Structure 1
Amino acid sequence: MTIPLDTTDIVFHSLNNLRATLHFYALNGRKSIWFNNNKPTLRADSLRSFLRNTRYYGLLRNNYHYESIERIIYQPEEALRCEILLTDAFLSIANDLKYGRRLYKDSAPHDSLSIVALQQALEQGRVKKSLHEQEPAFTEYRLLKTALQIAIDTLTAETRQLLLAGVIHDSIATQKEIQLIEVNLERWRRENLTYASRYIFINIPAFTLQVYDANKVMFESRVIVGTPDKQTPELSSSIECISIYPYWHVPQKIIIEEYLPIMQKDTTFLLRNNFEVLDRNGKILRRDSIDWKQFSANYFPVSLRQREGVENSLGVIKFTFDNPYAIYLHDTNAKRLFRNNVRAYSHGCIRLEKAEELAHYLVTGKPEERSKVIARYLQQKKQHIISLEDPMPIYIRYFTCEYANARLTKYTDIYRKDKAIARLLYNSATPVIVE
């Protein structure tokens, strides 16, 4: 069977990856790979088996032509169309397992990698293995897949078949839990970095910071993150220095929206909160020399800086890492808030309960060892910046569940992000019940 490369041919109708499919057959000499004498091969059966069970990977099989393939697979006159659908299905699912289902259709770099995966599958004779190799290598992803398998396999046979067929409905037992797992599997597929062997990981909905070294948690602390209307962003960076007894340079947005109305009514606000007023050259101005009633959102020619000390909003330690959002990881003077289970209170920065302990660890490299340098400056209550010899990678992410120690832990979707991913994952026309 010779594959035509005419895109107007009906066999190329409604493909996910038309360009990649055409390119593959151009490289392959236009030869059929799934059929022999108009009959499906064992290779085709292997791919069909994988597609039948894509729900175990957190994907819906009908996004990959499953019903169409099953309807025509044994009709010789439809062999060409089925050949094309199978190739498109492989390329699509390889893309989705490797990069997630959001943006990657018809993007040349990712198409080429999916074609390589298909070529390797043909050379090795292992279709399923080649698709497995496209999955993320993260331990957390693998554990969530285990949780998903357990959730599906505990259903009755009839309900399990409905689920594998792609039914999304809250009448199915554990459906919300299954969707939650699938949404977070999708998040891991979207990770485009290889994490360092030693790094800081902050999960926003879990309100936790963890330091990993060779996949082992070496340090853990509760954190406070941004409110839903002042969200902590997801980002990757590296902590390069630690500030002891730092100043807090107040962001202009906070000054205008929150502090200016207070200052216009209460001129003692600045003094009581240890703020300095700076002109555009950084010179300190007398607080009582300024008529705040003349200032507005359109006219604010000064800046505010909170002096160092235990009452400073940043606490006594700040961890600096490059990012476009001007956020920090820092200590806090409001320790009582760590007693709450839901801790979304900040303007976007991340407040750390064990800031001093983390500072010692980043300098010494050992959880139980204290740094004499940090201890000295903390005792002296003296402002100082310590540069780390080995900057510590930091990854701030958003995951609403995790599976560890044979237990699925669910976190509050504080920024209401799950449903948007679910709609992309299951298609907008499909009911979505994740909350």
Structure 2
Amino acid sequence: GSAAAVNPDIITRLYEKMGFHLSPKWNNRDRIEQMVTAIYNAPLDGLMADDYHLSDIEKLNERIVSSDEPAPEDIERMEVLLSDALFLLSSHLAAGKTDPVSVDPQWKASGRTLRENWSSYIDSMLSTNNISDILQNLTPAHREYANLKKALALYRQIETMGGWGSFSTSLPKLEMGMRHPDVASLRKRLAFTQGNTEFKPEDEELFDQPLRDQLIVFQQMNGLEADGVVGKATAEVLNIPVRDRIETIEANLERWRWISSDLGDRYILVNAADFELRAIVKNQQEFQTRAIVGTSKRQTPVFSSVMKYMVLNPEWVVPPKIMKLDVIPDIIKDSAYLVKKNMKILKMDGSEVEPASIDWKSVSENRFPYMIRQEPGQGNPLGKVKFMFANEYDVYIHDTPSRSLFTRNIRSFSSGCVRIDNALELARYLLKDDPDWTPKRLQEAIDKGQKRTIVLKKPVPVHILYLTAWADDKGTAYFGKDIYDRDRQLITALK
């Protein structure tokens, strides 16, 4: 995945031919070489070299170099192309090639924006910096971005070698102990992404333990249930062509270009496409727990905010949508529903209303001037703690009494909020530097069963993102599930 090389002799000849016709901006041989090199290398960032006039520059270059006396308009045109390429490439690296608002309306994260008068800003940088440094400094500084670039280079290499071909099996499933020709093709397919080509068993068609171990790693890296068996879902993912994976990586590089360059020294990151919540401090992960996000009908939006407090033993005020779709129909079906669920009906001023005094027959979804609140305790869907950060979507992070859903590998069941597996551990983690709230004291407050608000001494930025591919420091790629089907539009827009 190394950079494409530009022939330095050609640049020298081009520069000499254009001679004294050049304006001060481009009257510098190395600057021209760096610009052309940067265009050649745009694909390393998942961008397309021809968006930056590569073929026009190459054609014009041949014409200028091969003529005895180049036409002044050709030289002028070359400068225009180089200047425009610099303007476009610098702005795409700094804030993305596409506009998140039009490509992904759900994306509301604090983004990178270009400063006013971008072209004069870039020109002013030229007087003191060389082009490769300028562009390098505009690229997202996030480690995730650099890691994805490594993954992109590796996948491009696989593509250059001809990709991994298609994979399919005639059997309903492949599992350990079986002997079949499809097992040999499974080995071949896994060798591409698990990189284990040295491994040559005596019997390639036998599904043995080392192959199962490799398959489990593959499943973990692709958001599949890691059961070591090739069933329908795993077979489908094994058959995704390398080109599609490259496009997914490119789409996620673009998402990182949209994301604000400073997420904070210490922040919480929820990736809705890999169902995890992580706490990051100075680029290192300090805490991680599984998360459940919104269904495709009630999607968790992408946004940034700041967590300022948590609530122990929270009450749950039923959101209007859930009240309309779920709760009111259940009350009408079962008069004991409110008691079973420990729910109260309140007027807008907070005073309590007797359920019996309401004529439930006349309640329509638009005419219900009350709130319904579920008291803290057993069965409350927010569990023992909720974490609050201001946002217009009514989204927060909370505990949950229903644990079974966390074991599923695709976790999009909520109505938009983020439910987490180890909520109490997150609470302890966020309070670890607060002497007033030792783990013991926290547990006592929870056991009391009363609602209690704890303000964080140091508020923590929260970023809820949607990233369908990521990579580790070695450039090993991991793919999530595009549960909200947002990749396609972005991939199309990038072309």
Q: Determine the C-alpha separation between the residues in 2 that align with 1:174 and 1:43.
A: 36
SS for the counterpart of 1:48 is: helix
Where does residue 100 of structure 1 map in the other structure? 96
Establish whether residue 409 from structure 1 lines up as the match of residue 401 from structure 2.
no
Establish whether residue 56 from structure 1 lines up as the match of residue 44 from structure 2.
yes
Q: How many residues align?
A: 376
Q: Determine the C-alpha separation between the residues in 2 that align with 1:117 and 1:97.
A: 13
Establish whether residue 212 from structure 1 lines up as the match of residue 260 from structure 2.
no
Deviation, 1:312, is 0.3
Where does residue 136 of structure 2 map in the other structure? 132
SS for the counterpart of 1:224 is: strand
Where does residue 408 of structure 2 map in the other structure? 340
Change (3 A) 1:42 1:392: closer
For 1:159-198, what aligned pairs fall within 5 Å after superposition? 174-198=242-266
Q: Determine the C-alpha separation between the residues in 2 that align with 1:31 and 1:133.
A: 26
Where does residue 69 of structure 1 map in the other structure? 57
Deviation, 1:122, is 4.5
Where does residue 86 of structure 2 map in the other structure? 90
Where does residue 328 of structure 2 map in the other structure? 260
Q: Determine the C-alpha separation between the residues in 2 that align with 1:31 and 1:157.
A: 44
Where does residue 342 of structure 2 map in the other structure? 274
Where does residue 34 of structure 1 map in the other structure? 26
Q: What is the letter of the counterpart of residue 87 of structure 1?
A: S
Q: Determine the C-alpha separation between the residues in 2 that align with 1:188 and 1:47.
A: 23
Q: Determine the C-alpha separation between the residues in 2 that align with 1:122 and 1:149.
A: 32
Q: Determine the C-alpha separation between the residues in 1 that align with 2:159 and 2:348.
A: 66
Provide, for residues 59-100 of structure 1, a one-character-per-residue CA deviation record: whole Å limited to 9, x for no partner. Answer: 011111111111112333322112101100101000000000
SS for the counterpart of 1:301 is: coil
Contact 2:270–2:464, Cα closer than 8 Å, also in 1: yes
SS for the counterpart of 2:138 is: coil
Q: Determine the C-alpha separation between the residues in 2 that align with 1:174 and 1:111.
A: 39
| Aligned equivalent of 1:283, options 334, 348, 351 | 351
Q: Determine the C-alpha separation between the residues in 1 that align with 2:41 and 2:286.
A: 37
Q: What is the letter of the counterpart of residue 355 of structure 2?
A: R
Where does residue 433 of structure 1 map in the other structure? none
Q: Determine the C-alpha separation between the residues in 2 that align with 1:265 and 1:59.
A: 57
Provide, for residues 359-395 of structure 1, a one-character-per-residue CA deviation record: whole Å limited to 9, x for no partner. Answer: 11111149xx952331111122222111111112111
Q: Determine the C-alpha separation between the residues in 2 that align with 1:246 and 1:88.
A: 56
Using structure 1 for the length normalisation, give the TM-score: 0.81
**Unaligned stretches of 5+ in structure 1?**
1-29, 160-170, 427-435
Q: Determine the C-alpha separation between the residues in 2 that align with 1:379 and 1:271.
A: 22
Q: Determine the C-alpha separation between the residues in 2 that align with 1:158 and 1:241.
A: 53
Deviation, 1:49, is 2.0
Q: Determine the C-alpha separation between the residues in 2 that align with 1:410 and 1:381.
A: 41
Provide, for residues 9-50 of structure 1, a one-character-per-residue CA deviation record: whole Å limited to 9, x for no partner. Answer: xxxxxxxxxxxxxxxxxxxxx9353368xxxx4422321222
Deviation, 1:321, is 1.0
Deviation, 1:246, is 0.8
Contact 2:140–2:261, Cα closer than 8 Å, also in 1: no
**Unaligned stretches of 5+ in structure 2?**
1-21, 65-69, 101-112, 164-238
For 1:248-397, what aligned pairs fall within 5 Å after superposition? 248-365=316-433, 370-397=438-465
Change (3 A) 1:246 1:224: same
Provide, for residues 136-187 of structure 1, a one-character-per-residue CA deviation record: whole Å limited to 9, x for no partner. Answer: 110100111111122223443899xxxxxxxxxxx99621111111100000
Q: What is the letter of the counterpart of residue 252 of structure 1?
A: P
Deviation, 1:293, is 1.8
Q: What is the letter of the counterpart of residue 144 of structure 2?
A: E
Deviation, 1:111, is 5.5
Change (3 A) 1:207 1:423: same
Q: Determine the C-alpha separation between the residues in 2 that align with 1:238 and 1:279.
A: 31
Q: Determine the C-alpha separation between the residues in 2 that align with 1:72 and 1:201.
A: 47
Where does residue 398 of structure 1 map in the other structure? 466
Q: Determine the C-alpha separation between the residues in 2 that align with 1:31 and 1:236.
A: 44
